[in-house]
Amino acid sequence: MSGAIDPAVIVAALRAEDATVAVAESLTGGLVVARLVQVPGASAVVRGGVVAYATDLKHSVLGVDGGLLAAGGAVQAQVAEQMATGVRRVLGSTYGLGTTGVAGPTEQDGQPVGRAFVAVAAPRGVRVQQLDLPGGREAVREACTVAVLQLLAAQLADAGRRD
110: exposed, middle or buried (C-beta count within 10 Å: 0-12, 13-18, 19+)?
exposed
CB atoms within 10 A of CB 157: 10
In whole angstroms, give the CA distance from residue 68 to residue 76. Answer: 9
Q: How far is the CB of 161 from a second copy (least distance, A)?
A: 28
Distance CA 34, CA 153 (A): 17
Question: Cα–Cα distances in Å, from 59 out to 46, 51, 53, 139?
Answer: 23, 12, 11, 27
Q: How far apart are CA 92 and CA 44, in angstroms?
A: 14
Task: Give 52 or 153: the residue with its C-beta nearer to a second copy.
Answer: 52
Closer residue to a second copy, CB minimum distance, 76 or 145: 145
108: DSSP letter: B
Residue with Cβ nearer a second copy (60 or 158):
60
Q: Which residues of the shown chain bind a second copy in the complex (CB under 8 A)?
A: 23, 25, 28-34, 36-38, 40, 42-43, 46-54, 57, 61, 90-91, 104-105, 137-138, 141
| Closer residue to a second copy in complex, CB, 48/72 | 48
